[in-house]
Amino acid sequence: MLLQRLSRLIRERRLPDARYWFANRDLLWRELSLSRSGAWHVLCAEPVIVYAMEFGREVEGLARRLRGRPAWLLVSNPWIPRSSAEAHTLAQRTAELQARYPRLSIVYLCNDADEAAALVAAGLHARFCNQNALLDERLFRPLPGVPKTTDAIYIAQLIAYKRHYLARDIQSLVVKTYLSGATRDRRYMQQAIKELQHARWVYRCSDEAVCVLINTCRVGLCLSAGEGGMYASMEYMLCGLPVVTTPSVGGREVFYHDDHVLTVDPDPASVRLGVGEMIRRDLEPDRIRNAALARVTPHRDTFVDVVNGILAGAGKAPTFRWGDRFINKMWKERPFRLVSRECLAAGTARREDQG
């Protein structure tokens, strides 16, 4: 009876089908091993400098593995503290962590200038360096030979703050979705799949496949009212797509240019009309891409400045350059137990570069 009921729910598009769960099997496993892996990348071995995606399991897991040696963590904060109280809460959690690991230092890289100011006011070391500047523009680019077959694309995990329902009036739609540790609201998942059952749903795939998928579409959607930088917003623009966005806070607007971004009211009709307007503008993809890239450089300069400041403070030559130890997003999901091996690899690569 249970299998029959599950089968019926899948047929009625009230639950994701087997392809969804198979495509997200790696993240399902992560849910079963919360303390074992996270999103991080070693930038330098002497001193140890590691980029980590968000304060939480990544920072705690890395701190445990790096205890006993001086280490710096550059931490991106996907959600901005929207009040002084939230900033001070993060400062308290940071102090508690550093009390347990006294040789650990943390620099917060913030997606929003107001967030950076709030964290500095709370006594934390923070810089305005938006996560979207860490995307690899060689991966996401216009593909002139790919035909445009779909009006709009929405890349977003299945979670309530992404407000998928705002796209329900767009008949020509691709939804590229994925599972994350925050995806636990089964009712919302059922509702979103039902409301957008006319859309083409795509689950987890490679960055190269995402680039092709974006290039088959004419407009990118950003529909949340608040989050962090939202990688997808930058991926759209690097691929040459204009963006229809709702008003938001959190940092995705940092790279927007008025010519290729249209802000609309948060209702399905306005989103649909906005998509139609951006299609009619028929903007040149390279113009959109270049406008976004022009705003990336200051953030990459800040990233380099932070790393070189740490090196100089440790008595090392401040020779870090943009591109050193670079990977897309500056993080990769991997077990924390590998951090020592990654430090060794980073140290070897640095010696080879200097030799």
* Nearest to 277, CA basis, from 245, 317, 237, 316: 245
Position 1 scores a pLDDT of 47
Write out pLDDT tens, residues 323-343.
999 999 999 988 888 998 888
Position 27 scores a pLDDT of 47
For the record, the structure tokens of 86 come out as 């939230």
Write out pLDDT tens, residues 25-70.
544 444 444 457 888 999 999 999 999 988 887 898 999 999 888 9
> In this structure, are residues 260 and 287 in contact, taking their beta carbons and an 8 Å threshold?
yes
Contacts of 276 (CB under 8 A, 6+ apart): none
Whether residue 212 has pLDDT greater than 70: yes
What are the structural domain ranges in the chain? 33-134+296-354, 138-294
Domain 138-294, second-level architecture:
3-Layer(aba) Sandwich (3.40)
> In this structure, are residues 250 and 79 in contact, taking their beta carbons and an 8 Å threshold?
yes
Q: Give the integer Cα–Cα distance in Å for 189 and 35.
A: 26
Position 67 scores a pLDDT of 87
Mean pLDDT, rounded, for 199-220: 95
In the block, tokens 């953030």 appear at 299
Report pTM. 0.87
Position 83 scores a pLDDT of 77
Position 349 scores a pLDDT of 62
Burial category of 88 from C-beta neighbours within 10 Å (exposed 0-12, middle 13-18, buried 19 and up): middle
27-31, 147-151, 183-187, 214-218: least confident range: 27-31
Write out pLDDT tens, residues 119-175.
999 999 999 999 999 999 999 999 999 999 999 999 999 899 999 999 999 999 999
